[in-house]
Chain A
């Protein structure tokens, strides 16, 4: 494969484009409501209408508004018009399509009418999105590499291998200001630089696709919708740091993502875009899949590496960091799916372009999985610094049935709840941290007035308790105790002393646990205590005996403010 071959594939793909492209979502959300049947029915309808030479029915990745799935969108390319194959042209967006609707949807192309519910592509949910990571999602066919190549795919890899030294690539990544999308927000360029400068005969690149947070589905969608963008990002990273072997660690609960990745890897190898001598350069890079058995803790990087090595998935203390001693004690670069998906666009459009998006300390965009009590459930990608209000009220359409939003939970079991009166907070790493939450990998759960915050705290504590690996004591035994105390509070059996004990334990587990799971497990409790303390104290039993923490008249002493 040389660049001419790549261009030829892209040209051929563009030339084969038909007048109408009927895009049918084939990501897990819509597949679960039978989009496969819809696609087959659409294909049959096209045949029956004799429109095969004019209409292409294309299975694509997530079209973002998952709650209205199965989604079907129809693009019309006027002859001679230069509507980009890579963007779609925002034709009618059919929602909740059933196989029985197929004939009437295709009928519209011949001037017919359809009664299928039609969404508004001009809704703020779509127009306020800023797509980098999701640019191809819902547009390209994730099962055909040609479709990705036609959308400028693998050009960045070629550029890097042919025109840039590994050091140039690392510098570019530092300059663009990208930070890790897996949760902690560590600067990606710095991580690459550390791996690059650690001498070793063997290095590895790992893509963390474990995605264990309840409510999060961004990484799955990216893998299902545009797997090649992740592979290309990994290959660029491997070149920059000097690695020859990559692994994608993906959980077994994502069978569709796994099969799309397998297809993508196979096609990339056939085209010579993975393997030895890529683009006829001396660069070799292979990617293999490793399937996790679905433990949340296996998303933690050291546990993940132990799991890849075939060991028990338990974290180990850092340092040494994976960048110095990782997989089989070799320097290892480990990044999140979304982090890798950002790489090729950054190379293609330049670090300055990327650094111009977002806020001073958080560059680029972030994908969020909007879920919970919100009208538009689905995937959104917005520039860093967009306010929460815009995300949940303007784009998300607020709580359904006129309900009032009470809080937004970000960061899953490691994050916190942001109360409605702080909705004007810009979403970036540092602002969320200040509110006692974290960006996390991008799960965003909206809660309305009917949600009891102590329940929320207990739900997440139960999750952490079940998912703790059991290696270190504060997390293994502390989460059990905290869960017990929350249960006691909910049963109205706890006193103000129990609440104090809970707060003390939160602080201790956070400070003494070995890995991020335990260190962040108290966050949902601490943040709900910070903003919704009243809900806890309302549930307390009065301290009738006026013990050391009571004041003798049955009223609890005001709890110390943090």
Chain B
């Protein structure tokens, strides 16, 4: 993906910063992962994310189990210097099992990718562009009316924030079972489900 730009690293001899997640390592490559400059950019990127939508940790289902929150702690981001945009996003609670709160979405598109590439349902998608980009279900309809959603819950497992959640969970209760996704992918790749 190379989209979130949080894993940018400095590589000796290359003027541009490269995303570690999509850059192939080479013999003899000299990589700087934690310079002053990189730490500063990471903090700024996180501040931009927090200012972009409404991340109110104190009332969030993912509080304490959130990758965004954890990253912000680890980077020492203790306040946001940019103006909060306070956009008005809706919550989609039409699905019988899951809910989606667009206010907490960081548009990482993990839900879209698991939905297409691991579950193969193709329910989730990104629509719109720039700050107006949002995750949609099927043809931009309430998630509960989707014909393609298999209710597998993989998107919920993959979501780094409190944007996707199991219905019925309250503040701080939304723990993700990421092990399950990893198990499915590994088992498929190693063909563990195919009888000898």
Contact residues of A with B, CB < 8 Å?
Answer: 295, 297, 312, 316-317, 465-474, 476-481, 484, 501, 504-505, 508, 511-514
Contact = CB atoms under 8 A, between A and B. Distances in A.
B48 A470 contact: no
Contacts of B52: 476-477, 480
A312 B136 CA distance: 14
B17 A297 contact: no
Given A470-B107, A508-B44, A512-B41, A480 B131 contact: yes
B131 A477 contact: yes
A157 to B, nearest CB: 38
A472 B133 contact: no
B79 interface: no
B48 A473 contact: yes
B81 interface: yes
A519 to B, nearest CB: 9
B41 A317 contact: no
A303 to B, nearest CB: 11
Nearest to A480: B131
B117 interface: no
A317 B51 contact: no
Contacts of A511: 17, 41
Contacts of B85: 480, 484
Given A472-B4, A511-B17, A467 B129 contact: yes
Given A511-B17, A512-B17, A473 B49 contact: yes
Given A465-B131, A468-B130, A480-B85, A474 B2 contact: no
A317 B19 contact: yes
Interface of B: 2-6, 8, 17, 19, 22, 40-41, 44-45, 48-49, 51-52, 81-83, 85, 106-107, 109, 126, 128-133
Contacts of B8: 512
Nearest to A469: B129
Given A317-B22, A468-B130, A473 B4 contact: yes
Contacts of B128: 470
A551 B126 CA distance: 48
Contact of A484 (B6, B83, B133): B83
A504 B41 CA distance: 10
**Residue from B41, B81, B130 with most neighbouring chain A CB atoms (10 Å):** B130
Contacts of A504: 44
Contact of B5 (A474, A480, A505): A474
A473 B131 CA distance: 10
A295 B2 contact: no
A466 B106 CA distance: 18
Contacts of B44: 504-505, 508
Nearest to A472: B3
B130 A513 contact: no
Contacts of B126: 312, 470
A470 B19 contact: no
B38 to A, nearest CB: 9
Contacts of A472: 2-5
A428 to B, nearest CB: 21
A350 to B, nearest CB: 36
A470 B133 contact: yes
Contacts, number: 87
B129 A514 contact: no
A476 B41 contact: no
A476 B5 contact: no
Contacts of B4: 472-473
Contacts of A467: 129-130
Contact of B129 (A295, A484, A505, A513): A295
Contacts of B133: 469-470, 476
Contacts of A468: 129-131
B129 A477 contact: no
B106 to A, nearest CB: 8
**Residue from B41, B48, B107, B109 with most neighbouring chain A CB atoms (10 Å):** B48
A317 B2 CA distance: 6
B130 A466 contact: yes
A469 B5 contact: no
Given A471-B3, A480-B130, A513-B5, 6 more contacts: A466-B130, A474-B5, A476-B130, A476-B131, A478-B48, A511-B17
Contacts of B130: 465-470, 476, 479-480
Nearest to A504: B44
A470 B132 contact: yes
B131 A514 contact: no
A440 B126 CA distance: 30
**Residue from A468, A505, A508 with most neighbouring chain B CB atoms (10 Å):** A508
Contacts of B82: 481, 484, 501
Contacts of B6: 473
Contact of A512 (B5, B49, B81, B107): B5
A521 to B, nearest CB: 11
B2 A316 contact: yes
A297 B107 CA distance: 18
A180 B49 CA distance: 36
B50 to A, nearest CB: 9
28 contacts: A312-B126, A465-B131, A466-B130, A467-B129, A467-B130, A470-B126, A471-B109, A472-B4, A472-B5, A473-B3, A473-B5, A473-B45, A473-B49, A474-B48, A476-B131, A477-B52, A478-B48, A480-B130, A481-B48, A481-B51, A481-B83, A484-B82, A501-B82, A508-B44, A511-B17, A512-B45, A513-B5, A514-B19
A198 to B, nearest CB: 17
Contacts of B83: 481, 484
Nearest to A512: B5
Contacts of A481: 48, 51, 82-83
A470 B49 CA distance: 12
B107 A476 contact: yes
Contacts of B5: 472-474, 512-514
Contacts of A469: 129-130, 133
A136 B81 CA distance: 56
A470 B131 CA distance: 6
A375 to B, nearest CB: 37
Contact of B3 (A297, A479, A508, A514): A514
A479 B51 CA distance: 13
A245 B65 CA distance: 51
A392 B6 CA distance: 44
A295 B128 CA distance: 11
A316 B118 CA distance: 21
Contacts of A513: 5
B140 to A, nearest CB: 14
A474 B45 contact: yes
A467 B81 CA distance: 25
A345 B20 CA distance: 44
Contacts of B17: 511-512
